[in-house]
Amino acid sequence: MVLSQKFHEAFKGTVERITNPRTVSAFKEKGVLSINEFIVAGDNLVSKCPTWSWESGEPSKRKSYLPTEKQFLITRNVPCLRRAASVEEEYEAAGGEFLLDNEDNDGWLATHGKPKETKSDDEENLPSMETIEISKKNTIQSISSYFGGEEEDDIPDMAGYEEADNVIETDAATLQSTYLVAHEPDDDNILRTRTYDVSITYDKYYQTPRVWLTGYDESRMLLLPEDVLEDVSQDHARKTVTIEDHPHLPGKHASVHPCRHGAVMKKIIDVLMSRGVEPEVDKYLFLFLKFVASVIPTIEYDYTMDFDLGSSST
């Protein structure tokens, strides 16, 4: 972790400890949420999209300002059929969408063609966020070293232990090799299908929700957080998505950094209001997840509902 990021975390932690949680609503003015509004919006998400649940997480990590059984939201086993990197390449080749207002990292997409430009300068002058080199060539097949044993000599070669006793293969009623038949012959998909646990926590410092990603490969083995960046829109992977400790779960997880969430949400709310739609705070997470979808376009989590937000064209 970069030192400046550490400092910032320490600072943020101190501020969080000494400030009181937001109680006055500033949803329309600043795009932020009070704790109560987060609970209201979370309850609404859970009831409209039942794949989401509230969880209480690690007892030692519980935040006293949140109800014990509503510490954070999670949806598990969300499919991610393709790598964001490869989707983007296709888009660009087709002159597809591009990010509007790129300097602000707003993540609004426009569907006109994108003028080809080199991103290389941009990439070299990155700010302090942890930068991870992603080689586009091996985005698909790289299997993380969590379990592969490639660089971990600690892990003995299991092939020697292969056993014949009592294994399901000998049984006529057992379907063989599930994940090979899980997809049509298009064999790219077999390796590409990952699943994600997506969680939403409340960030007290920024007073916004914050999204965390835990990735798994096709046999449901944990991905390294670095590999998760392959499923993040490449414009964000190197800037706004960081790898940090999850506030309620053990381990390092990739997270969309919330420093601009308030501003982005404020813009979305302004757009809605200019269209004559009065945004309601319990819809906040739907708007928020819609915006997050531009950061993680291929992770198919559930956030849709038939609510009237005016004609949002994106």
Partner 1 sequence: MAGHESRPVLQFAPFQSSVDEGFWHRLSSLKLNKLGIDDSPIPITGFYAPSAHPQVSNYLTLLAESLPTEPCEQSSVAMVIRGNRNRCSAPGILYNTNTLEGFHAIDKQSLLKAEAKKVWESIHSGEAEEDSAILSRFLLISFADLKKWSFHYWFAFPALVLDPPATLLDLRPASQYFSIQEHVMTGATRAQRQVESPSAVENRYLLVSRGIFCFSSQEAKKYESLVDVPFFLLSISSNSHATVRHLKDWEACQHGEQKLLFGFYDPCHLPNNPGWPLRNLLAFICSRWKLEKVHFFCYRENRGFADLGFSLVGEALMSVPQGWEDPQHIPSAVGWELNRGKKVPRCISLAKSMDPTRLAISAA
End-to-end CA distance of the chain: 35
In whole angstroms, what is the distance from residue 288 CA to residue 49 CA? 14
Nearest-5° Cα angle at 64, 35 to 53? 60
Contact 254, 225 (CB under 8 A): yes
Block residue for tokens 């004609």? 311
Neighbours of 270 (CB within 10 A): 13
Q: Which of 259, 263, 271, 309 is catalytic?
A: 259
Which parts of this chain interact with partner 1 (CB under 8 A)?
1, 6, 47-53, 56, 58-60, 68-69, 76-79, 81, 145-147, 149, 152, 154-156, 158-159, 161-175, 177-178, 180-183, 193, 195, 197, 214, 216, 219-222, 224, 249-252, 300, 302, 304
Q: What are phi and psi of 213, to 5 degrees?
A: -125, 130
Tell me the closest approach of the beta carbon of residue 314 to partner 1, in angstroms. 20
Q: Residue 259 catalytic?
A: yes
Tell me the closest approach of the beta carbon of residue 75 to partner 1, in angstroms. 8
Tell me the closest approach of the beta carbon of residue 176 to partner 1, in angstroms. 8
Tell me the closest approach of the beta carbon of residue 233 to partner 1, in angstroms. 21
b/e string for 176-202 if b means 16 or more Cβ within 10 A?
eeeeeeebeeeeeeeebbbbbbbbbbb
Residue whose CB is less far from partner 1, 117 or 165: 165
One DSSP character per residue, 105-128 reads: T---EE-SPPPP---HHHHHT--S
Q: Which residues are known catalytic residues? A: 259
